[in-house]
């Protein structure tokens, strides 16, 4: 039976990847930092087929030996874990750069140690977008990389962490017999399987809920590329399974300004208190997913994504009146 390991299995995107793998008959190893943390990881054990085919391993990205144990016997690794902070990080080196960069190198070395054949590394559109040299009206493709020095000058430490980690991952392609493929997802939205709220879902919630925060007064009307978490999971599996996948792949569906996105939400679910004033922000975010589409990827309409996302928030009780906003975020 095919056996693969997913790093950071309890996270937002990884949970969907685990669910998809279990539905396709894979034996799944999942790394989590604390297998006993039911709040973070309990949902994984409830997934269909999890009892028979999901095994959780305790592993921090900075612990090479733990990763080796988790990858033993696996032919593939889907490296999803990496910190996604929702606010200013006081110590970017420790909180972001080390887990992303040293963590990815540890994952790659552990893959070599375990004789893994193929790894898909989840990078980010933020490893593509911050490139002031790229003509602003031209779609960005996989040849476009974030300018690391430019990102540092803006203190965009998340973008710095993902860009360096992705570059380093691709340098390991064909080291021994390992194939390395990377995927750069746009801003990921869609229903949550996990019971702790991830950073990007918090941002979408902030479009709809004003209790306990001040962000709505200054919400930026910026262009952002979006992708559905379920379509992204399909893309990750496609990149793993297709022997023709090679190099890096942008994974993006629609680029919209915040105002347009909120207008769509309000047209389906008019009852919520959406922001009315915006701070205009210039700049395009045009991403091309042609390479991934040519490999056979397809995606659902944005409308379906928005409806499923909001229904999910409603089912989880996150939009109930009087319930305070779940966390402070300062995007
Ligand atoms: N969401 C997006 O819009 C988006 C867009 C592009 C790319 N991505 C990438 O997608 C991946 C997953 O993001 P997500 O949105 O699913 O966020 P998430 O829910 O916060 O997942 C992040 C995962 O990384 C794990 N992690 C962080 N530091 C770790 C460490 N030192 N050792 C082991 N595990 C560690 C977390 O584990 P704990 O639960 O223990 O903290 C968590 O499982 C990341 O690589 C991110 O850069 C996300």
Give the residue extent of every domain in the chain: 3-188+228-253+285-299
**83 Cα–ligand 1 center, Å:** 5
**190 Cα–ligand 1 center, Å:** 15
Q: What is the pTM of this model?
A: 0.96
Label residue 276 by pLDDT band (50, 70, 90).
confident
Query: What residues act catalytically?
Result: 162
User: Is the CB of 185 within 6 Å of ligand 1?
Assistant: yes
**271 Cα–ligand 1 center, Å:** 32
Q: Are 183 and 249 in contact (CB under 8 A)?
A: yes
Pocket mutation for ligand 1, best pick of 6, 8, 163, 197 (most atoms within 8 Å of C-beta): 8
User: Is the CB of 162 within 6 Å of ligand 1?
Assistant: yes
pLDDT, tens digit (0-9, with 9 covering 90-100), for 251-265 = 999 999 999 999 999
Range name among 66-70, 122-126, 196-200, 217-221 with the lowest pLDDT average:
217-221
Q: Give the Cα separation of 298 and 228 in Å (integer).
A: 11
User: Is the CB of 83 within 6 Å of ligand 1?
Assistant: yes
Label residue 186 by pLDDT band (50, 70, 90).
very high
Q: Give the single-character DSSP code of 325.
A: P
User: Is the CB of 189 within 6 Å of ligand 1?
Assistant: no
Compute the residue count for the chain: 331
Residue 40 belongs to what H/E stretch?
helix 38-45
Pocket mutation for ligand 1, best pick of 65, 81, 100, 128 (most atoms within 8 Å of C-beta): 81
Instruction: Tell me the pLDDT of the chain averaged across its residues.
Output: 93
**13 Cα–ligand 1 center, Å:** 8
Query: Beta strand pairing status for 223-228 and 254-257?
Result: antiparallel
CATH of 3-188+228-253+285-299, one of 3.40.50.720, 3.40.50.150, 2.120.10.30, 3.40.50.300: 3.40.50.720
pLDDT, tens digit (0-9, with 9 covering 90-100), for 92-143 = 999 999 999 999 999 999 999 999 999 999 999 999 999 999 998 899 999 9
Q: What pLDDT was estimated at residue 58?
A: 98
Name the nearest CA neighbour of 197 among 28, 21, 43.
43
Say yes or no to pLDDT of 279 above 60. yes
Pocket mutation for ligand 1, best pick of 40, 71, 84 (most atoms within 8 Å of C-beta): 84
pLDDT, tens digit (0-9, with 9 covering 90-100), for 53-98 = 999 999 999 999 999 999 999 999 999 999 999 878 899 999 999 9
User: Is the CB of 225 within 6 Å of ligand 1?
Assistant: no
**7 Cα–ligand 1 center, Å:** 9
User: Is the CB of 187 within 6 Å of ligand 1?
Assistant: yes
In angstroms, the Cα distances linking 111 to 69, 114, 233 are: 10, 5, 21
Say yes or no to pLDDT of 217 above 60. no
Q: Which residues, 6+ apart, have CB-to-CB distance to 208 below 8 Å?
A: 265, 269, 272, 273, 274, 310, 313, 319
User: Is the CB of 230 within 6 Å of ligand 1?
Assistant: no
User: Is the CB of 60 within 6 Å of ligand 1?
Assistant: yes
């Amino acid at each position: 039976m095919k056996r693969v390991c997913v790093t950071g299995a309890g996270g937002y995107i990884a949970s969907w990847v685990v669910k998809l793998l279990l539905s396709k008959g894979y034996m799944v190893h999942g790394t989590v930092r604390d297998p006993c943390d039911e709040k973070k990881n309990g949902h994984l054990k409830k997934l269909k087929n999890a009892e028979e085919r999901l095994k959780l391993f305790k592993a921090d990205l900075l612990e090479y030996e733990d990763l080796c144990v988790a990858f033993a016997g696996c032919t593939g690794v889907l490296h999803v874990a990496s910190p996604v902070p929702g606010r200013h990080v006081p110590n970017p080196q420790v909180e972001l750069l080390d887990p992303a960069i040293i963590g990815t190198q540890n994952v790659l070395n552990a893959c070599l140690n375990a004789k893994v054949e193929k790894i898909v590394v989840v990078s980010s559109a933020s490893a593509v977008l911050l490139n002031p040299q790229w003509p602003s009206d031209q779609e960005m493709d996989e040849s476009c990389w974030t300018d690391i020095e430019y990102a540092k000058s803006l203190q965009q430490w998340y973008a710095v962490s993902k860009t360096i980690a992705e570059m380093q991952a691709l340098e390991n392609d064909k080291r021994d017999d390992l194939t390395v493929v990377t995927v750069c997802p746009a801003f990921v939205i869609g229903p949550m399987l996990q019971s702790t709220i991830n950073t990007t879902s918090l941002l979408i919630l902030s479009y709809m809920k004003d209790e306990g925060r001040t962000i709505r007064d200054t919400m930026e009307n910026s262009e952002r590329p979006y992708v559905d978490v379920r379509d992204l999971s399909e893309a990750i599996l496609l990149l793993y399974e297709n022997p023709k996948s090679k190099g890096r792949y942008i994974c993006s569906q629609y680029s919209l300004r915040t105002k347009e996105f909120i207008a769509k939400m309000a047209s389906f679910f008019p009852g919520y208190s959406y922001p009315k004033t915006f701070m205009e922000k210039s700049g395009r975010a045009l991403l091309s997913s042609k390479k991934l589409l040519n490999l056979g990827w397809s995606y659902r309409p944005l409308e379906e994504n928005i409806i499923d996302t909001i229904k999910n928030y409603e089912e989880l009780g996150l939009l109930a009146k009087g319930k305070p906003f779940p966390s402070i975020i300062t995007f």
